[in-house]
């Protein structure tokens, strides 16, 4: 805990020198100083505590300051924090790669590590392009993406984000022009009518000679709109991609490691992609690490191509501390009845958020796995709602029209109740 004057000094320096995400440098809005965190609670500089409904952007599945995770970090630190990955290897990367290949579909046998989700997406896009290059079809370079999708903030990733929420107009010609198709409308619980795939069928039949891959977030579209859709869409899409010889990339950076009730969202559909991107909760929110997995066919084709290699290699590739942390996080998750935990959280989010459905301000309330979403009719002003959430002892950071929760899996029932009650209460107090 710090004194109010120390807090003020910290915030003044923050304001003078720091650029926060998606924020104005000169007028960043409300910024809340955190001094430590424990379990599901963020400890603020003034001594208050917030129940964290965001799991630090969906990563901190085990909560904060977890003894098992802390031990894993310390143990790896004693061996080495980092070593370059070019020409060298180390036990943590090898073990993690094996775990990821074991947990994901059998056809995914190769792991390329990188340092953030956006880069894992860049890697997948580059692999897709290099694959067709090596196959003697260099014209197959473009991507197909869904509207309302989100894949990260680097240029390649941005080019496949929703063109409107991703503000493509700001970047003009700098962004690669990709193909977009409507996001599926079919409900999670329902089959997906063939007509949902009319647009993409038409697109692939006309342009498959220019298309390297389709990229999408399976079952849950996250930061592009928190939308849930039918796994049946993925089965039909896989068949289409096979028919038109186009690769299929699943971005499970948000959905991976249990969030939707399955370890990976692709399990809802039983579909195997050609490339799979992982990140976010891969290290339980402890460290930045991402991975792109691909099939042996892709790996061997790319390796047999003109370059004889995949042309990418981040400085911190396969960082030992991050890999060791990821191993600990995955083992910790799998050592517990996590499916039951996610189911309980889902039930509690559903019950807790249900009263919001009757509010004038709300257009829909939906839940899936450990994700709870209140979609409003109007966009939310963070400057207005952030203090309202903090007053109620919770941390919730809405975007656009979406007030949502993705709690750490360790959140207990009474804290979920506090969190959801605060969300409903804050929404009820907004203008309509």
Ligand X SMILES: *Cc1c(COP(=O)(O)O)cnc(C)c1O
Which residues make up each annotated binding site for pyridoxal 5'-phosphate? 117-118, 251, 314-315
Q: Which of 392, 380, 407, 390 is nearest to 30 (CA)?
A: 390
Q: Residue 46 CB, nearest distance to ligand X (Å)?
A: 29
Specify the residue, 229 or 244, whose C-beta has the smaller distance to ligand X.
Answer: 229
Specify the residue, 56 or 133, whose C-beta has the smaller distance to ligand X.
Answer: 56
- Interacting residue with ligand X among 60, 93, 247, 254 (CB under 6 A): 254
Site string for ligand X, 266-285 (x = CB under 6 A): -------------xx-----
Is 404 assigned a catalytic role?
no
Four-point Cα dihedral 25, 118, 206, 180, nearest 10? -40
Q: Which residue is nearest to ligand X (CB)?
A: 117
Q: Residue 292 CB, nearest distance to ligand X (Å)?
A: 11
- Interacting residue with ligand X among 39, 53, 63, 152 (CB under 6 A): 152
In which order are the strands placed within the sheet that holds 362-368? 362-368, 371-376, 402-405
Q: Which of 229, 223, 150 is nearest to 196 (CA)?
A: 229
Q: Residue 72 CB, nearest distance to ligand X (Å)?
A: 21
What's the distance, CA 283 to chain centroid?
13
Q: Which residues contact 331 (CB under 8 A, 6 or more apart)?
A: none
- Interacting residue with ligand X among 63, 156, 222, 369 (CB under 6 A): 222
Specify the residue, 118 or 133, whose C-beta has the smaller distance to ligand X.
Answer: 118
- Interacting residue with ligand X among 56, 76, 104, 116 (CB under 6 A): 116
Q: Which of 137, 151, 117, 276 is nearest to 223 (CA)?
A: 151
Is 22 assigned a catalytic role?
yes
The single residue of 52, 115, 162, 251 carrying the catalytic annotation is: 251
121 binds ligand X (CB under 6 A): yes
251 binds ligand X (CB under 6 A): yes
Q: What is the Rg, in whole angstroms, of the alpha carbon atoms belonging to the chain?
A: 22
The single residue of 64, 131, 150, 233 carrying the catalytic annotation is: 150
- What are the CA-CA distances from residue 17 to residues 3, 22, 229 (Å)? 21, 15, 42
Is 140 assigned a catalytic role?
no
196 binds ligand X (CB under 6 A): no
Q: Is the CB of residue 68 less than 8 Å from the CB of residue 91?
A: no
Q: Residue 154 CB, nearest distance to ligand X (Å)?
A: 7
Q: Which of 368, 412, 416, 378 is nearest to 396 (CA)?
A: 416
Q: Residue 314 CB, nearest distance to ligand X (Å)?
A: 12
**3-state secondary structure at position 347:** helix
- Interacting residue with ligand X among 53, 63, 117, 318 (CB under 6 A): 117
The single residue of 126, 140, 280, 401 carrying the catalytic annotation is: 280
What's the CA gap between 139 and 260, in Å, rounded?
A: 36
- What are the CA-CA distances from residue 231 to residues 104, 192, 236, 367, 381 (Å)? 17, 8, 9, 15, 33
What's the CA gap between 117 and 122, in Å, rounded?
A: 9
What's the CA gap between 222 and 171, in Å, rounded?
A: 22
223 binds ligand X (CB under 6 A): yes
Interacting span for ligand X (CB under 6 A) from 47-55, 76-84, 146-154, 337-345 = 146-154
Interacting span for ligand X (CB under 6 A) from 111-119, 196-204, 356-364, 394-402 = 111-119
Specify the residue, 184 or 279, whose C-beta has the smaller distance to ligand X.
Answer: 279
H or E stretch including 9? helix 4-17
Is 150 assigned a catalytic role?
yes
150 binds ligand X (CB under 6 A): yes
Length of the chain (residues): 432
Specify the residue, 45 or 121, whose C-beta has the smaller distance to ligand X.
Answer: 121
Catalytic residues: 22, 150, 251, 280
Contact positions vs ligand X (CB under 6 A)? 116-118, 121, 150-152, 217, 222-223, 251, 253-254, 279-280
């Amino acid at each position: 805990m710090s004194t109010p004057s120390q807090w003020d000094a910290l915030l003044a320096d923050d304001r003078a020198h720091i650029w926060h995400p998606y924020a104005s440098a000169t007028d960043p809005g409300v910024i809340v100083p955190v001094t430590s965190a424990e379990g599901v609670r963020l400890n603020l500089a003034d001594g208050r505590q917030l129940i964290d409904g965001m799991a630090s952007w969906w990563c901190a599945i085990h909560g904060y300051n977890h003894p098992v995770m802390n031990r894993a970090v310390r143990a790896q630190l004693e061996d080495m924090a980092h070593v370059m990955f070019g020409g060298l290897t180390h036990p943590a990367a090898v073990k993690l790669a094996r775990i990821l290949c074991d947990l994901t579909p059998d056809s995914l046998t190769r792991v390329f590590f990188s340092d953030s989700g956006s880069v894992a997406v860049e890697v997948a896009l580059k692999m897709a392009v290099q694959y067709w290059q090596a196959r003697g079809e260099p014209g197959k370079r473009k991507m197909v993406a869904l509207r309302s999708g989100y894949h990260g903030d680097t240029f390649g990733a941005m080019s496949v984000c929703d063109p409107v929420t991703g503000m493509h107009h700001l970047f003009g010609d700098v962004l690669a022009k990709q193909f977009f198709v409507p996001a599926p409308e079919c409900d999670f619980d329902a089959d997906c009518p063939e007509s949902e795939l009319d647009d993409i069928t038409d697109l692939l039949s006309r342009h498959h000679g220019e298309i390297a891959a389709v990229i999408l977030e399976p079952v849950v579209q996250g930061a592009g709109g928190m939308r849930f859709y039918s796994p049946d869409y993925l089965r039909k899409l896989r068949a289409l991609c096979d028919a038109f010889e186009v690769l299929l990339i699943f971005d499970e950076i948000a959905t991976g490691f249990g969030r939707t009730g399955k370890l990976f969202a692709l399990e809802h559909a039983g579909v195997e992609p050609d490339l799979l991107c992982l990140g976010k909760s891969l290290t339980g929110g402890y460290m930045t690490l991402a991975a792109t997995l691909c099939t042996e066919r892709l790996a061997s084709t790319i390796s047999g191509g003109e370059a004889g290699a995949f042309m990418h290699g981040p400085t911190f590739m396969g960082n030992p501390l991050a890999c060791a942390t990821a191993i600990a996080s995955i083992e910790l998750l799998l050592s517990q009845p996590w499916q039951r935990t996610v189911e309980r959280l889902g039930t509690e989010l559903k019950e807790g958020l249900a009263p919001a459905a009757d509010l004038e301000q709300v257009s829909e309330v939906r839940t899936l796995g450990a994700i709870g979403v209140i979609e409003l009719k109007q966009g939310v002003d963070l400057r207005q709602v952030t203090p309202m959430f903090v007053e109620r002892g919770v941390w919730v950071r809405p975007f656009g029209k979406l007030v949502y929760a993705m709690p750490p899996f360790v959140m207990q029932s009474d804290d979920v109740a506090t969190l959801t009650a605060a969300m409903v209460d804050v929404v009820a107090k907004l203008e309509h």
